[in-house]
């Protein structure tokens, strides 16, 4: 059985005290119907929220980014080793905002994945097509290319440690959600691509999350699709009640 996951990407939102309160709220709420909740929090919040999340196995800690170099003269960057020591367990790589706003191309993403995995961090690898690609109907080919460029150089063992997040760019922060059928079609496509490359055992064991305007009103229907193993949630993860409702949608 695959892990059913509700991951919240807080992006550049919340102060440290607001973030700590939100994390405490999730812990105090206790177990949901998700196997795991993951909170992807700003760098400044990591160490404090790590303390909040210690000694429990319901809510896990993620960073939203990591440096593409191991250490040295890279002003403003945060390394995999720093994240590990701060108590981080997961890290996002390839979020569309990093790809588009910070020009992170596949060669950078591959370096980040290697550094994260070497440090023992689990990578949530994000991919997804822009609106013009969806309108042209070529989304499968574009996502296939993102898989080939981003992760298909990995060994079977390393690829099996990833969580994949399919996030169509046209649905992120827009209020426009992929229909459950659109999500299912793409998740099934991604899983079949993983199967072709790595075999069915690995493909069937990997969690594939959907991201893009997930909210309590649509999470149940999306998560009930057979190849959708949960969500990567932006805006709706910032409010305790709405994220808990989403995490209870399995």
Active site residues: 95, 167
Closest approach of ligand PEP to the CB of residue 159, in Å: 21
Which CB atom, from 194 or from 232, has the smaller least distance to ligand PEP? 232
Which CB atom, from 49 or from 183, has the smaller least distance to ligand PEP? 183
Which CB atom, from 190 or from 233, has the smaller least distance to ligand PEP? 233
Residues in contact with ligand PEP by CB under 6 A are: 9, 11, 167, 172-173, 211-214, 232-236
Which CB atom, from 190 or from 198, has the smaller least distance to ligand PEP? 190
CA-wise closest residue to 100 among 136, 128, 73, 61? 128
Closest approach of ligand PEP to the CB of residue 9, in Å: 4
Q: Which two tokens stand for residue 250?
A: 């399995």
Instruction: Please give the Cα distance from 9 to 35 (Å, whole number).
Output: 17
User: To which H or E segment does residue 245 belong?
Assistant: helix 240-247
Q: Are 117 and 161 in contact (CB under 8 A)?
A: yes
Q: Are 45 and 62 in contact (CB under 8 A)?
A: no
Closest approach of ligand PEP to the CB of residue 103, in Å: 18
Closest approach of ligand PEP to the CB of residue 199, in Å: 29
Taking CB atoms, the residue at the shortest distance from ligand PEP is 234
Instruction: Please give the Cα distance from 20 to 90 (Å, whole number).
Output: 18
Q: Can you give the three-state secondary structure of 180-218, one letter per residue?
A: HHHHHHHHHHHHHHHHHHHCHHHHHHCCEEEECCCCHHH
Closest approach of ligand PEP to the CB of residue 233, in Å: 5
Q: Which two tokens stand for residue 125?
A: 């690898």
Residue with tokens 């102060």: 15
Instruction: Please give the Cα distance from 115 to 112 (Å, whole number).
Output: 5
CA-wise closest residue to 56 among 83, 91, 18, 29? 29
| DSSP state letter for 174 | S
Residues shown for the chain:
250
Which CB atom, from 198 or from 225, has the smaller least distance to ligand PEP? 225
């Amino acid at each position: 059985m695959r892990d059913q996951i509700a991951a919240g990407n807080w992006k550049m939102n919340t102060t440290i005290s607001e973030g700590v309160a939100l994390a405490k709220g999730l812990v105090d709420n206790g177990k949901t119907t998700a196997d795991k909740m993951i909170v992807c929090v700003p760098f400044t919040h990591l160490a404090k929220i790590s303390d909040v999340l210690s000694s429990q196995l319901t809510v896990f800690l993620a960073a939203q980014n990591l440096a593409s170099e191991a250490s040295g003269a890279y002003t403003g960057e945060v390394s995999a080793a720093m994240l590990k020591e701060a108590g981080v367990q997961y890290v996002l790589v390839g979020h569309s905002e990093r790809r588009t706003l910070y020009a992170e191309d596949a060669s950078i993403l591959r370096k980040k994945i290697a550094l994260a995995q070497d440090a023992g961090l689990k990578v949530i690898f994000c991919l997804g097509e822009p609106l013009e690609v969806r309108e042209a109907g070529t989304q499968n080919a574009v996502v296939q290319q993102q898989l080939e460029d981003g992760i298909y150089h990995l060994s079977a063992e390393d690829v099996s440690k990833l969580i994949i997040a399919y996030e169509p760019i046209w649905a992120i922060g827009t209020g426009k959600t992929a229909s459950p059928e659109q999500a299912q079609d793409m998740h099934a496509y991604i899983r079949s691509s993983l199967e072709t490359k790595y075999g069915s055992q690995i493909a069937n064991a990997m969690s594939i999350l959907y991201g893009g305007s997930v909210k309590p009103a649509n999470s149940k229907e999306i998560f009930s699709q057979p190849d959708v193993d949960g969500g990567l949630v932006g805006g709706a993860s910032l409010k305790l009640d709405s994220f808990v409702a989403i995490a209870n949608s399995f």
